[in-house]
Structure 1
Amino acid sequence: MLRVLMFARQISPAPTMSPPLKFDSTFEFTVKVQKTIGIRCLFEPYPTSLRDKLSMNAGFITTFMMLSYCVLGQVTNVILLLNGHRETQEAVEELATQIVCTTFCITGLVKMYGLAYHRNTLANIIEEFRTMWDEQLLTLADRQLCDKVFRPTMSITAFAAIGNIVMVSAFNFLPVAEMLFNKWQTDAWKRFQPYVIWFPFDSTTGWWYYLVYTFEAYSGYIVAVSNVGTNCIFCLLCAHLTMQLQLLNRSLEIMMEPKEKEEVFGRNDAKRNLCKLVQWHQKLLRAKETMDSVFSVTFFLNFSASTVLICVQAFLMLIADFYVVTKMALFMGCCLVEIFFLCYYGDEVLEFSTRLAQAVYNCRWYQIQADDARFGRNLIPIIQRAQRPMKLMAWKFWPITINSFALILNASWSYFTLLRTFVK
């Protein structure tokens, strides 16, 4: 029996290797999704002439203006509710729902503006990672590490993006189910909208209703794509930074080893390798600073808003009926998934940057002759710098790590208990 198994293993075809990943394919899904709201590929910086800029971003400008009016209409409706100009039977419930929807839309609008404002910076950092991709992924082990990092990341970001879009789309079309249920119970049609937005006309009469419903549904889709698009770009950039850190860790540990077994490895070779690795580390530090400059303010607003959103959503799920609970559960899922993945990938950068100091110490520095103490002294500032890990920040207040995710949930729960006590 053993001989039969061995013979079968010998004649069985070798497992097919998946084709190596290309750099552009890591951003492919995100680029396709963002094109649906007019955002062009972020690989391309802005053209120089104003006419070309407007032509290039015509779709983006249109969707940005649509979402801007959506936010303006929601804010106007909140003001009317607070001033008593709109009569409603469930004022507290409607106000809380309106705060959730408005905050969600404002966050999406800010992220759209951030992508547009930092477009050239994003194009530069993506090009920098492309250069490092071509320079560092040289061996089969490097390619295997790339697959290990990016194939799960691409699947996770695609799943999160599709899930977020599906949940927001379900929220947009829940009024259809509500209207059908109301028709079945009362035998009368009562028109509902996804969001309560102020318009200078009656949006529930005639053909205006269908136009407004389409406008609000697509505006909700714009919010979902702008949120997940920015988050996916951040997660993918973190994955690129994490992969480069892992490659750097491995290179630091083997920098004292010759490339070929018969090669004689000397002091000058060690210094040359060390200089290259230090320059590589400096590139990664600059990339981290650039990512902070692009995402810091946006994610500070996102984290702060999510703390309030989760609190208000939990409160609504406590006091509202089943229909509102269903809508808030969809929103809650969007917020939690979004914040978790941001914090997870930020935590990955933190973890692998902390390993640099140990990698330098493990590089067999003791193989250099004892009379060359300068080489060992050169490693000390590298270890000291590596002991200050790369910590992506949300405007110097929120470290983008798993601990921050726990702090956001803790703060939301505290606000929720305070709000519940105050209302009682």
Structure 2
Amino acid sequence: FCGIFGLCLFFDSYAFLVYLGFEPLIPIFTLHVCGQLELLSLKISKIISESETEQEIKEKFRTINVKLQELYRFIDEVQNDFKMLMEFNMKTSTFIVPCNAFQIVQEFRVNGNISIEFISLLIASLIHFLTPCYFSDILMESSERFRQAVYCCGWEKCRHKSIRKTVLLMLIRAGKPFSISTIFYFISLDTFSTMCRQAYAIFNVMNAAWT
């Protein structure tokens, strides 16, 4: 009995630490990148107006591009580390949510009781997948604002072709937004809505088959 209790306690502690460590990591990383993108947007909007020589403009653009490449590498590392976990999270949430919803409905229909346990698990499952989707969506919006800042930096006032080419290359690169993705999907609020639609379809099938 003590051995079983010890194993259960170990599993509970492990599961608690996994959730405690997994949930905040992606929001922390994405908010860090969002903050860096906002700073770069502010810097790039003042490059042309506050610089006097072509060399000074080139040097500032070079500094921004170096920082931008670091952010792209950082996001790629985060994506590689969490790609499988996010895919697993999405697939399991797609099945856990309708199963919990069906159990809640059945419990109320048969016994007239409201199952607090399953309601809590349903809410936790939704939040568990909503959190990375929400912050990844914020990351994509920050990336779009940076792209707009590059376009509105005042490049049309600069006559140097090399600087215009630099801006063009930055716009092309910024056309691919910063994002967190699974194996098959980009993580965003659209992905969350897709998961909810799939979960609702599964719930309808279960409700039609066992009622």
TM-score past 0.5 threshold: yes
Deviation at 1:307, TM superposition (A): 0.6
1:222-266, CA deviations, whole angstroms, 9 ceiling, x for partnerless residues?
2133023112112111111111111111111112243xxxxx711
Residues 124-163 of structure 1: pairs in structure 2 closer than 5 A: none
AA aligned to 1:280 is: K
1:357–1:384 CA contact under 8 A, matched in 2: no
- Provide structure 1 residue ranges, at least 5 long, that are not aligned to the other structure: 1-207, 259-263
Which residues in structure 2 correspond to 1:157-236 (within 5 Å)?
208=1, 212-213=4-5, 215-236=7-28
**Measured at CA, do residues 364 and 293 of structure 1 come closer, stay the same or move farther in structure 2, by a change above 3 Å?**
same
Structure 2 residue matching 1:355: 3-state secondary structure: helix
Change (3 A) 1:287 1:223: same
Of residues 271, 287, 296, the one that matches 2:74 is: 287
- Structure of greater relative contact order (alpha carbons < 8 Å, 6+ residues apart): 2
Name the counterpart of 2:90. 303
1:212 deviation in Å?
3.5
Q: How far has the Cα of 1:376 moved from its partner?
A: 1.2
Match of 2:166 in 1: 378
User: C-alpha separation between the residues in 2 aligned to 1:331 and 1:398?
Assistant: 25
Instruction: Give the Cα separation in 2 of the matches to 1:324 and 1:226.
Output: 29
The root-mean-square deviation of aligned C-alpha atoms, in Å, is 2.0
Structure 2's unaligned 5+ residue stretches are none
User: Does 2:119 match 1:329?
Assistant: yes
Question: Whole-Å Cα distance in 2 between the matches of residues 407 and 228 of structure 1?
Answer: 26
Q: TM-score, normalised by structure 1?
A: 0.46
Aligned match for 2:153, one of 358, 363, 370? 363
Matched, 1:392 2:180: yes
Measured in 1, the distance between the counterparts of 2:193 and 2:81 equals 24
Distance 1:257 1:251 in 2: 11
Match of 2:139 in 1: 349
Q: 1:317 to 1:214 in 2, by over 3 A?
A: farther
2-side partners of 1:221 and 1:324: how far apart?
Answer: 28
C-alpha contact (below 8 Å) 1:238/1:346 kept by paired residues: yes
Of 126, 130, 136, the match for 1:340: 130
Partner of residue 256 from structure 1, selected from 41, 44, 48: 48
Equivalent pairs, count: 208
> For 1:287-329, what per-residue CA distance to the aligned partner results, in whole angstroms no more than 9, with x for missing partners?
1111111000111001100110001101111113577822111
Distance (Å, rounded) in 2 between the aligned partners of 1:361 and 1:243: 19
Distance in structure 2 (CA, Å) of the matches to 1:361 and 1:242: 18
Aligned-partner SS, 1:335: helix
Matched to 1:378, the amino acid is T
Alignment-derived partner of residue 65 in structure 2:
278
TM-score by length of 2: 0.90
Distance apart, 1:334 and its partner CA? 1.2
User: For the residues of structure 2 that align with 1:420 and 1:217, how far apart are their CA atoms?
Assistant: 35
Q: Does 1:405 align with 2:195?
A: no
* SS of alignment partner, residue 256 of structure 1: helix
1:243 matches 2:43: no
